[in-house]
Amino acid sequence: MKPNDQPPIQLGFAITGSFCTFQKILDVLKKMAGQNYQIVPIFSEHSSQMDTRFQLAEEFVKSVQEITGHPGIFTIPEAEPIGPKGYLDALVIAPCTGNTLAKLNSGITDSPVLMAAKAHLRNEKPLVISISTNDALGMNFKNLGSLMNMKNIYFVPFGQDNYEKKTNSMIAHVDLIPETIESALAGKQLQPVIQSPFA
């Protein structure tokens, strides 16, 4: 490593089942893989096992592992050591579904992603959330607000993706994930958090 070079950021990248955003997530991972990150992928059971009209699970997992150059974490026991070993500088949940958002706010750890988040937060390091949920302004609004006020939790800026047909739906501007991570590592929430609706 050259004297002026910075050591790579050790980043956990946790993926939950908002399947319609998976291609955007792959694009972000490709961009980040060429930057100063060592990326450890973490999969919810649905994201690694469920075939949909958007993606075959096996192909998606293979793509993520090839892009990151790192084997994935697929189980709760595999995710738990993130806490005691403390090897991540930051952890991203992208996409973060409403289900995961609600469970995270309630302290539930019944998936590899939620266990990773719990384990990582015990080390008081940044957890970055990239929401993708149809009920962000509905049943999950209270969870969104609660998590925004929690220490060491940061949000990728988000907006309404279809305010005419899905009035409660909000999705993160995933292209801002790297910038949000940088801000979070400096202890700051990237602003503005609420950005213009998607076209």
Model pLDDT for residues 79-107, shown as the tens digit of each residue: 999 999 999 999 999 999 999 999 999 99
Q: Give the mean pLDDT of the chain.
A: 94
**Residue 196 confidence class, pLDDT cut points 50, 70, 90:** confident
pLDDT at 199: 54
Contacts of 46-50 with CB under 8 Å at 24 or more apart are: 46/16, 46/17, 47/15, 47/16, 47/17, 47/19, 47/22, 48/72, 48/74, 50/17, 50/19
**Residue 3 confidence class, pLDDT cut points 50, 70, 90:** very low
Could you tell me the residue ranges of all domains in the chain? 9-185
Q: What's the pTM?
A: 0.94
Q: What is the mean pLDDT of residues 63-77?
A: 98
pLDDT at 197: 73
* pLDDT over 70 at 135, yes or no: yes
Q: What is the mean pLDDT of residues 162-179?
A: 94
What is the spatial distance between Cα 129 and Cα 153, in angstroms, rounded to a whole number?
Answer: 7
Q: What is the DSSP string of 74-89?
A: -SHHHHTTHHHH---S
pLDDT at 2: 42
* pLDDT over 60 at 13, yes or no: yes
What is the spatial distance between Cα 119 and Cα 135, in angstroms, rounded to a whole number?
Answer: 27
Q: What element of type H or E holds 92?
A: strand 90-96
What is the spatial distance between Cα 179 and Cα 58, in angstroms, rounded to a whole number?
Answer: 29
What residue has token string 């949909």?
52
Indicate the class that CATH gives domain 9-185.
alpha beta
* pLDDT over 90 at 4, yes or no: no
pLDDT at 1: 40
Q: What is the DSSP string of 43-56?
A: E-HHHHH---SS--
**Residue 198 confidence class, pLDDT cut points 50, 70, 90:** low
* pLDDT over 70 at 6, yes or no: yes
> What percent of the chain lies above the pLDDT cut of 70?
97
What is the spatial distance between Cα 172 and Cα 167, in angstroms, rounded to a whole number?
Answer: 15
